[in-house]
Amino acid sequence: MTLAIAEPVEDGAARASGSSFYLAMRILPTKQRQAMFEIYSFCRAVDDIADNGGPREVQIARLQRWRDDLEATYAGAPRQRLLALAQAIENFQLRCEDFMAVIDGMEMDVLSTIAAPDWATLDLYCDRVASAVGRLSVRVFGMDEEPGVALAHHLGRALQLTNILRDIDEDAGVGRLYLPLEALLGAGITTRVPAEAIAHPAIGDACAPVVARAERHFLESEAILAGSPRAVVRTPRIMAEAYRLILSQLVARGWEAPRARVKLRRVSLVWILLRCIVR
């Protein structure tokens, strides 16, 4: 039995306006900006499927419809809701495999509730839900292939690991725990029940290796950005600096419960934006 599910058509810019990266995308030239809005809109749509719950078979069917629609787009027959994305694909030679990897990552959240994956599984998840988005984005930015793929690898993982550290309470609220099993065991935390793990007195020790890995990826990203034309990497530099500030604020806040939500103030983001533009 095939589940027929109507999906809404939503303007990419409208979806992207709620992103913390909106200002960073907004400074791009028109064609690049619109492409980034469409990539973000796609990512938001499939992420909503994974996050909004509901019957698992419905979630899987909706993700499969995205796969089918992408295949149709690359075959030259885009569905109505993918017309703008199809234009971005044509303009920047975006690869189907990267879109599919994002869907594969979302499906990891649907097929089983992720709770304390090992490092290898976590790294695969980060590659699919973050670095694959980076591989799409660097083509829009106009980076050369080798440094672009390397930046997507490192910056995507740095951003996603920062998200994981920032969202441990929200994720635990829906039964998810993305902190790696090795880090938990190393801190003496043996439970894989999310709410119990994040309430453990040694949770800071479990977060420390994740912080260290994120910082290493940020350092690798900075080296690539420093060696690339400034105008080409202005937007990813803004993203990197904004999330590195979030990571430093998380570390400064500490991990003991109750944990105050860390959110980048708009004035801080605007300051980063202006500094990167002037630079």
Model confidence pLDDT, tens digit, residues 31-70 = 999 999 999 999 999 999 998 868 999 999 999 999 999 9
Can you say how many angstroms the Cα of residue 272 is from the centroid of all Cα atoms in its chain? Answer: 20
What is the percent of the chain where pLDDT is above 70?
A: 91
CB 108 within 8 A of CB 56: no
Q: What is the pLDDT of residues 194-209, one digit of tens each?
A: 999 999 999 999 999 9
Q: What is the mean pLDDT of residues 248-260?
A: 95
Mean pLDDT value across the chain: 91
Q: Which of 169, 155, 263, 233 is CA-nearest to residue 207?
A: 169
The structural domains of the chain, with segments of one domain joined by +, span 1-112, 113-279
**In the chain, how many H helices and how many E strands?**
15, 0
- Residue 9 pLDDT class (50, 70, 90 cuts): very low
Q: What is the mean pLDDT of residues 247-265?
A: 93
- Residue 15 pLDDT class (50, 70, 90 cuts): low
Statement: 113-279 belongs to CATH 3.40.50.2000 = no
Q: What is the pLDDT of residue 208?
A: 98
Q: Using the predicted structure, report yes or no on whether residue 25 has a pLDDT greater than 70.
A: yes
- Residue 183 pLDDT class (50, 70, 90 cuts): very high
Q: What is the pLDDT of residue 113?
A: 86
Phi and psi dihedrals of 103, rounded to 5? Answer: -65, -40
Host H or E run for residue 57: helix 56-74
- Residue 4 pLDDT class (50, 70, 90 cuts): very low
Q: What is the pLDDT of residues 146-180, one digit of tens each?
A: 999 999 999 999 999 999 999 999 999 999 999 99
CB 241 within 8 A of CB 272: yes
**Tally of residues, the chain:** 279
Q: What is the pLDDT of residue 2?
A: 37
**CA atoms of 259 and 183, how far apart (whole Å):** 19
